């Protein structure tokens, strides 16, 4: 379990069921909590991790509960929206656990201005505290019903929530007029690339594959085209029913603060697996990320087609079997 949550429970914090646990990650050991507890986790790999442990894992929920435990996300707007969500669902105690690097001190300060806080307990470079649920007090922290950026639906906490990602824009400019009849957008986010691709009548279908359920919900609103199909899945594991002509992607390169090039390398492997023998991969990446060797292992032809000092657009074709 989180060392801070363990310490809080050992020193007097009592949690009552039904219990809702918001945004835990595999780094949080929940083994001491009731297995019937509801785990709200929109990120598919993390969702599956807790479902395999026997928790009632779901991507989103406003189900009522007695107490709620919130593991603070990094994005401030998302953290505030989740505090409001927890207060709306819970009738008893709301517990907030977070790291200093994710802004727990600032969040504690803001909450303390509004309600009495118990704890806080400091441990392992973070803090945990709790308070009585009060939805009205945090009403102004609710996530907007509709958040629009450049005409697109987004949501707090999703990738590029505040605007179109410049790397994706660069990739779009590099794509040919006829990129392929059947396309997979791996790590589709809230759907920018797919929305733009489907402006072409040439394309017959696009698979939007996204692990973040919140982002995929935005994508459904942004891409209301019958040629689009939506998959809540880890792109590294996803398998198309039939091979596609083209994969486009702007893959993630970290799940924490540290860069992890293996994520993008796994996306490249997934792309090669889902393409036809003459298929094409178009991807954009940060300039410093070492993807060329993996591309050369997986594809017969690899080239950088455009780029700048921040990003590079790579085109690979003819996946190796």
Average pLDDT over the chain reads: 94
The total number of structural domains that make up the chain: 2
Cβ pair 194, 223 in contact under 8 A: yes
Same domain for 7 and 103, yes or no, is yes
Same domain for 124 and 263, yes or no, is no
Last residue of a domain, one of 117, 141, 165: 141
Same domain for 196 and 300, yes or no, is yes
Average confidence (pLDDT) over 98-112: 96
**pLDDT grade, residue 245 (50/70/90)?**
very high
| For residue 146, pLDDT beyond 90 | no
Same domain for 181 and 261, yes or no, is yes
pLDDT of residue 237: 96
The tens digit of pLDDT for each residue in 35-51 reads 889 999 999 999 999 99
pLDDT of residue 31: 85
Same domain for 200 and 285, yes or no, is yes
Q: Nearest Cα to 305, choosing from 284, 275, 279?
A: 284
Q: Which domain holds residue 12?
A: 3-141
Q: How far apart are CA 252 and CA 264, in angstroms?
A: 6
**pLDDT grade, residue 148 (50/70/90)?**
confident
pLDDT of residue 156: 93
pLDDT of residue 93: 97
Same domain for 133 and 202, yes or no, is no
Q: How far apart are CA 19 and CA 26, in angstroms?
A: 18
Q: Nearest Cα to 284, choosing from 180, 165, 200, 177?
A: 165
Q: Nearest Cα to 283, choosing from 144, 179, 203, 160?
A: 179
Q: Which residue has the tokens 């780094």?
A: 27
Same domain for 295 and 153, yes or no, is yes
**pLDDT grade, residue 259 (50/70/90)?**
low
Last residue of a domain, one of 126, 141, 156: 141
pLDDT of residue 46: 96
pLDDT of residue 257: 56
Same domain for 201 and 120, yes or no, is no
Tell me the three state secondary structure of residue 98: strand
Same domain for 232 and 296, yes or no, is yes
Average confidence (pLDDT) over 190-217: 97
Same domain for 12 and 103, yes or no, is yes
Cβ pair 311, 166 in contact under 8 A: yes
The tens digit of pLDDT for each residue in 260-314 reads 789 999 999 999 999 999 999 999 999 999 999 999 999 999 999 999 999 999 9
Cβ pair 55, 20 in contact under 8 A: no
- Cα–Cα distances (Å) from 255 to 45, 159, 226, in that order, read 11, 12, 32
Same domain for 181 and 310, yes or no, is yes
CATH number for the domain that contains residue 107: 3.40.50.150
Same domain for 128 and 151, yes or no, is no
Last residue of a domain, one of 84, 114, 141: 141
- Phi, psi (deg, nearest 5) at residue 27: -70, -15
């Amino acid at each position: 379990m989180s060392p801070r949550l363990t310490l809080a429970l050992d020193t007097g914090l009592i949690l009552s069921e039904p219990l809702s646990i918001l945004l835990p990650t595999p780094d949080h050991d929940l083994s001491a909590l009731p297995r019937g507890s509801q785990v709200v986790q929109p990120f598919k790999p993390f969702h599956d991790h807790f479902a395999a442990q026997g928790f009632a894992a779901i991507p989103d929920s406003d189900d009522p509960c007695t107490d709620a435990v919130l593991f603070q996300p990094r994005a401030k707007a998302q953290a505030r929206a989740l505090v409001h969500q927890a207060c709306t669902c819970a009738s008893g105690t709301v517990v907030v656990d977070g790291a200093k690097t994710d802004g727990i001190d600032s969040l504690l300060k803001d909450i303390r201005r509004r309600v009495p806080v118990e704890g806080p307990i400091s441990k392992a470079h973070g803090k945990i505290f709790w308070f009585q649920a009060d939805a009205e007090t945090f009403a102004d922290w609710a996530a907007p019903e509709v958040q629009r950026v450049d005409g697109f639906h987004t949501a707090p906490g999703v990738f590029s929530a505040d605007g179109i990602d410049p790397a994706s824009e660069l990739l779009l400019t590099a794509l040919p007029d006829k990129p392929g009849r059947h396309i997979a957008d791996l790590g589709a986010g809230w759907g920018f690339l797919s929305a733009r691709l489907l402006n072409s009548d040439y394309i017959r279908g696009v698979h939007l594959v996204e692990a973040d359920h919140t982002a995929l919900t935005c994508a459904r609103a942004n891409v209301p085209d019958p040629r689009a199909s939506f998959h809540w899945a880890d792109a590294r594991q996803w398998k198309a029913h039939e091979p596609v002509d083209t994969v486009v992607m702007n893959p993630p390169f970290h799940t924490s603060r540290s860069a992890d090039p293996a994520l993008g390398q796994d996306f490249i492997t997934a792309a090669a697996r889902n393409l036809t023998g003459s298929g094409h991969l178009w991807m954009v990446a940060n300039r410093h990320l070492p993807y060329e060797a993996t591309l050369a292992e997986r594809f017969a032809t690899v080239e950088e087609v455009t780029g700048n000092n921040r990003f590079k657009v790579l085109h690979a074709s003819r996946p190796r079997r």
